[in-house]
Amino acid sequence: MTTSTTGKKLRDYLFEKVGFAPTDEQRAILESPFRFNLVAGGEQAGKSLIASKYLLGRIAETEGNGLYWLVAADYERTRAEFEYLIEDFSALRILSSASKRVDPGHLVLGDGTRIETKSAKDPRTLAMRAPDGILGCEASQLDLETFFRLRGRCAPKRGWMFLSGTFEGSLGWYPQMFTAWASGADRDARAFSLPSYTNVHLYPGGANDPEIQRLREASSDDFFMERIEGKPSPPKGLVFTEFRPDMHIGEISYEKGEPVHLWMDPGYTGGYAVEVVQVRGEQLCVIDEIYEQGLVTDEIIDVARSREWWPDVKFGVIDIAGTQHQAMAAPTEVWLQQTGLYLSSQKVRINEGTERLKGWLKINPKTHAPRMVFSPRCHGILSEFGSAPNPFDGQTKAYRWKTDRDGSIVGDVPEDKNNHGIKAMIYGLIDRFGYGYVQDREHIRVKRWA
């Protein structure tokens, strides 16, 4: 890697050669010293252009050849960045070859540097040789699992990742990640807004351009903030505002031989949620989940038995309603009869249970690690926290307080929907650790039976 001063001079020289003069807002992004960068752009802000110039600058700063990926939800969404790069490298006379297609596509430079397009629809393409850097194109359209898979692919070479996208509603992992990275919560990451009016070719007057002013007057505040300013509009009524995908989601997996806990909510009218938990030191790891609709307990048990962690299942907790008969055998009876697993249960007070879970979402002051981590495979409960689309219909359905038309919270109890995984976690936490404050505990107390 060249020195930062030399690298900046070379980068500026290349920008000049390809006819690109960055604005102050664009330069702040292009010169970011952070390894992971997220850009939330307004509509027509030039996100693809900036992403391609970022890759150009990083290649200029790197000695020797390298491997770089353009990744999107599908190949077509990589096209803009791909074509910008062809133009730039052709202008610099360093393009050796380029495919005519993007599905998949590739560029090869004179020194052997290779740039490849990847589609999240084919996860196998993301398991190949680790790249030196990744551009996430229209990254807000990537799913959460793909994001964590990409971050993992950066690890072998200490590679970088640059994400760019437009907010389409301020729930989901992308706006939540923006908020976390913009705050400096991750020392290796930073988030930037790139408003539409920074594209001076379209809006010569910048923020005061007459067209921008007309958009401001004709749009709702939330729409203008998200789609023009490139800033998330704070979600209204979300119960668990403490949940952060950068902190509470991680690539954790099943550890064979360690006890597995099943915490469940039968969800008669919504969904049957089973959260699969392993205790590791002072941290709870939610390694998997079963989150189904329209299946009865017998079928849920069949699903559980098919998972690799089933041989280590030792403990279970269920909603008190699971002990009751609903025109059929109670779920607790079915689990006991078919698997021999005893499911503990007790009546839980909603607000106290909510506060208990919020306490577990805090950072452990001794280990400086989150007390609770979820695998990105846990689509159901992550959708309830507002970090992923609902697995049943792909819509945004988070656990919320009741609100009036102005977004003000009404009442003192959240709406009893979109919360099956969250309730399962609450039942498990209270059954195992009680209503007390976990932060005063030196060790996690786990109830065990002979």
Per the CB < 8 A criterion, the answer to whether 382 and 388 are in contact is yes
Measured between alpha carbons, how far is 87 from 95 in angstroms, rounded to an integer?
A: 9
- Predicted confidence at residue 326, as pLDDT, reads 65
Q: Give the per-residue SS3 of the chain.
A: CCCHHHHHHHHHHHHHHCCCCCCHHHHHHHCCCCCEEEEEECCCCCHHHHHHHHHHHHHHHCCCCCEEEEEECCHHHHHHHHHHHHHHHHHCCCEEEECCCCCCCEEEECCCCEEEEEECCCHHHHHCCCCCEEEECCHHHCCHHHHHHHHHHHCCCCCEEEEEECCCCCCCHHHHHHHHHHCCCCCCEEEEEECHHHCCCCCCCHHHCHHHHHHHHHCCHHHHHHHHCCCCCCCCCECCCCCCHHHHECCCCCCCCCCEEEEEECCCCCCEEEEEEEEECCEEEEEEEEEECCCCHHHHHHHHHCCCCHHHEEEEEECHHHHCCCCCCCHHHHHHHHHCCCEECCCCCHHHHHHHHHHHCCECCCCCCECEEECCCCHHHHHHCCCCCCCCCCCCCCCECCECCCCCECCCCCCCCCCHHHHHHHHHHHHHHCCCCHHHCCCCCCCCCC
Q: Can the peptide bond before residue 414 be classed as cis, meaning omega within 30 degrees of 0?
A: no
Band of residue 237 on the pLDDT scale cut at 50, 70, 90 = confident
Q: Write down the residue that tokens 């194109």 correspond to.
A: 137
What is the per-residue pLDDT across 255-305, written as a single tens digit (0 to 9) for each? 999 999 999 999 867 789 999 999 999 899 999 999 999 899 999 999 999
Band of residue 172 on the pLDDT scale cut at 50, 70, 90 = confident
Average pLDDT of the segment spanning 74-99: 96
Q: Among candidates 51, 62, 61, 85, which has minimal Cα distance to 8?
A: 61
- Predicted confidence at residue 358, as pLDDT, reads 95
Contacts of 72 by beta carbon, 8 Å cutoff, 6+ apart:
78, 117, 118, 119, 120, 136, 137, 138, 139, 141, 142
**In the chain, domain spans:** 4-228, 245-440
- Predicted confidence at residue 405, as pLDDT, reads 76
- Predicted confidence at residue 220, as pLDDT, reads 87
pLDDT at 234 over 80: no
Band of residue 321 on the pLDDT scale cut at 50, 70, 90 = confident
- Predicted confidence at residue 436, as pLDDT, reads 66
Per the CB < 8 A criterion, the answer to whether 56 and 30 are in contact is no
Least confident range of 80-89, 92-101, 344-353: 344-353
Residue type for position 9: K
pLDDT at 380 over 80: yes
Average pLDDT of the segment spanning 212-228: 91
What is the per-residue pLDDT across 335-356, written as a single tens digit (0 to 9) for each? 999 999 999 999 998 889 999 9
pLDDT at 202 over 90: yes
- Predicted confidence at residue 395, as pLDDT, reads 82
Give me the CATH code for the 245-440 domain, please: 3.30.420.280
Q: What is the value of pTM for the model shown?
A: 0.81
Measured between alpha carbons, how far is 90 from 83 in angstroms, rounded to an integer?
A: 11
Give me the CATH code for the 4-228 domain, please: 3.40.50.300
- Predicted confidence at residue 448, as pLDDT, reads 41
**Could you tell me what percent of the chain has a pLDDT over 70?**
94
Report the mean per-residue pLDDT for the chain: 90
Average pLDDT of the segment spanning 103-123: 94
- Predicted confidence at residue 446, as pLDDT, reads 42
pLDDT at 441 over 60: no
Q: Write down the residue that tokens 């079915």 correspond to.
A: 334
Measured between alpha carbons, how far is 166 from 231 in angstroms, rounded to an integer?
A: 9
- Predicted confidence at residue 327, as pLDDT, reads 55
Average pLDDT of the segment spanning 298-326: 93
